[in-house]
Each structure stands twice: as C-alpha cells, then as structure tokens.
Amino acid sequence: MRIGIMSFAHLHAYAYADVLNQLAGVEFAGIADEDAERGKAVASQLGTRYFNSFEELLKADIDGVIITAANADHRRLTEMAAAAGKHILCEKPIATTLEDGLAMEKVTREAGVKFQMAFPCRYVPAVQRLKAQYDDGLLGRVVLLRGTNHGKMPGGFFIDPEAAGGGAVVDHTVHLVDLVRWIFQTEIKEVYAEIDRRFHDIPTDDCGLLTLELTNGAFMTLDPSWSRPDDFYTWGDLYLKVVGTNMVTEVDMMRQSLERIGSQDPNYQWEFWGSNSDYGLVKEFVACIQEDRQPTITAQDGIKALEVALAAYESAKTGKPVKLDN
C-alpha cells in the first residue's frame, strides 16, 4: 500500500505523515507541494520522495493521496486525483463553497475512488465512549449541548479569506458539527451566530459563537474561536458537554495531559498522553482501500459540516437565524 501527500499547506500533514511512517504494510511514497521549497525540505526531513508536480505524484505507483492543501485548493486536487484513479483522504473543511463540495462528491463517486473526510475527532476514545453511552441509551434523549473548539491563531493560508473560505469559524466549526451529527444521528436545522475579529490583526474573523437548533429537538452553542494566547500550554481544546434526560457527559479531550511546571520558558505546559486520533483516522483510510469498502466519513459529512459554517457567516451578516434544509 503506497500513499502520497498533496501539499503541506495544512499543518495536519505532518501528523498524517507520521502515521504513514508508523503503519505496517504502508509506504509513505512521496509528496508534491505547490511550494517547492517547503516540499523538498519536508521530503528530506521525513525521508520520502519529492515529486516536482502534483501530476507527477499522481502518475507514480500509488494507491491513494492525502490532500492537505489550502481549503480552496481541495476541489482542484480532488478532481486531479480522482481522474488519476487515486483514493482520497481530504483535510477539513471539505471546501470553501457548497458547490465545490458537491462537485467533489460527484467526481469521486463517478471515478469510483474512495473519498474520506479527515474528521479525526471521531477517533478520540473519549468521544467514542460518549457515542457508546448514547447508543446504549445511557444518556437518554439529548436535550442540549455546549461545545468549544478553541485554538491559537494558525497563520498561513488560514488567515487568507480566499484560500481558507473564512477564518476561525470555518476552521473550527466543522469538527464539533461533525461529531454531533455522527454521535446523535441528527442534522442542524437553524444557525445563529455572532462573529468578529477581536484577537489578532488579520484579514479573517478570529472568534464567534454559534447557537444551533438540531432536528432531534436539542439546541447547542459552539465556540470556534482562535482565542488561545500564542504561549498557551497546549494547542487549544476540544470540549463537548451533552445534557441528556438521564445523564450529563463532558468530553474534554486535552485533559489527558500532565501539567509540566518548570523554571524555563515556557514554564507551564501540558504534556498530552492521550491516544493519537490521527492514527485511527489514517489507519481507517488505508483499511478501506485494502478491504475495498466505503469510508464511514463521507463527502456528504464534509458538505453538511461546511454548510453550518457558511450559514453562521450568513447569520452574522444579516443578524438573523438562518434555516437549513435537511
């Protein structure tokens, strides 16, 4: 099994590359990058081959690719990979417009290649435990949820409105929306949002608060802000509180950490010891190719999550709740 990576614009590419190097029977076959300097440096650092263009990488003897380009480039690279008959693991959000997302779903379906969205939070064991609690009826009916996905301001293409399709809201809304849709088998039917740029001198939004109504009768607030300071003790958080009729459960993924307090700068840091969710995500992608089955995280999942983020921008612009068709 040979897998390549298309672009290292998104930082998650490094984590996925690590997993490719760990998985038995998988060869990290090479990378191509629109930034040749970055691509060459990364290839030599990670001990893999650098291809001079995406076309050359796709001509090579590989089974699949991981697309970790800027959000606006996902569609073009997906179309190229599908035309070359390569299976695809695509970074979130699926695209910057619904039109692009739908085109990606269509082109991969028609080309008969597998398309998996990169929503690694589904592979967080605490999240899986929450899903089991719900599936086993321990939570009861879900009444309300509160989620936060805070982070630091990532820079790079993330703060280019064209390349990213937005700022913090498009970057961090999709993880929690995907988890809620997946765990509780519900859709989002209404979105209200306050969005602004209040932390950084950048061209995109960096904070917001979404209030959602779900088709299962529950409501939710979701904070996707890049509100963690640059020297915050970890990258950010992924937190979800679920109030059910029988139980209240809180998932706080980064809590599986040691507190490290020293005399050097930074003098306070979290040392994460929890499971590597990227490992589960990439392993599943490889297994889907090996066993010839469809990925469980589909283009449709990517589209539905993006739809909520785009509705949030519309709500913030109009000052009104936005209804979604499901």
Partner 1 sequence: MRVGIVGFGTMGTTHAASYQRIADCELVAIADIRPERRALAEEQHDVRSYATLRDMLSAEALDVIDVCVPTFLHREHVEIAAEAGKHVFCEKPLARSRAEGQAMVDACRKAGVILGVGHVVRFFPEYQRAKAVIESGQMGNVGTVYTYRGGGGFPTAWQDWYARYEWSGGLTLDLIIHDFDFLRWTLGEVERVFAKSTWGRENNRMEHVLVSLRFANGVIGNVEGTWLDLGTFGTKFEFACDEGLLTHDSHWSSALKSYQLQSAAHTGKPGVAVPESPMAIDPYTLELKHFIECAREGKEPMINGEEALRAVEIAVAAQESIKTGKPVRLERG
Contact region with partner 1 (CB under 8 A), list: 17-25, 85-93, 261-269, 315-323? 315-323
Contact between 192 and partner 1 (CB under 8 A)? yes
Query: Are residues 9 and 35 in contact, defined by beta-carbon separation less than 8 angstroms?
Result: yes
For the chain, the distance separating the N- and C-terminal CA atoms, rounded to the nearest angstrom, is 38
In sequence order, the 6+-apart residues with CB closer than 8 A to the CB of 248 are 241, 242
Q: Which is nearer to partner 1, 98 or 144 (CB)?
A: 144
Note the Cα 19 to chain centre separation in Å.
16
How far apart are CB 223 and partner 1 at their closest, in Å?
A: 6
Q: Please, what sign has the CA dihedral across residues 253, 255, 258, 262?
A: positive
How many chain residues interact with partner 1 (CB under 8 A)? 33
Q: What span, in angstroms and rounded, lies between the C-alpha atoms of 124 and 148?
A: 16
In sequence order, the 6+-apart residues with CB closer than 8 A to the CB of 193 are 169, 208, 209, 210, 211, 311, 312, 313, 315, 316
Q: Which is nearer to partner 1, 211 or 275 (CB)?
A: 211
Q: Which residue in the set 25, 47, 112, 229 belongs to the binding site for partner 1 (CB under 8 A)?
A: 229
Contact between 196 and partner 1 (CB under 8 A)? yes
Q: Which is nearer to partner 1, 87 or 150 (CB)?
A: 150
Q: What span, in angstroms and rounded, lies between the C-alpha atoms of 225 and 19?
A: 28
The residues in 117-156 that bind partner 1, with binding defined as CB under 8 A, are: 143-144, 146, 150
Contact region with partner 1 (CB under 8 A), list: 39-47, 77-85, 212-220, 277-285? 212-220
How far apart are CB 273 and partner 1 at their closest, in Å?
A: 21
Contact between 283 and partner 1 (CB under 8 A)? no
Question: How is residue 92 written in tokens?
Answer: 């979130």
Site residues (CB under 8 A) for partner 1?
Answer: 143-144, 146, 150, 190, 192, 194, 196, 198-200, 206-209, 211, 213, 217, 219-221, 223, 225, 227-229, 232, 243, 245, 248, 319-321
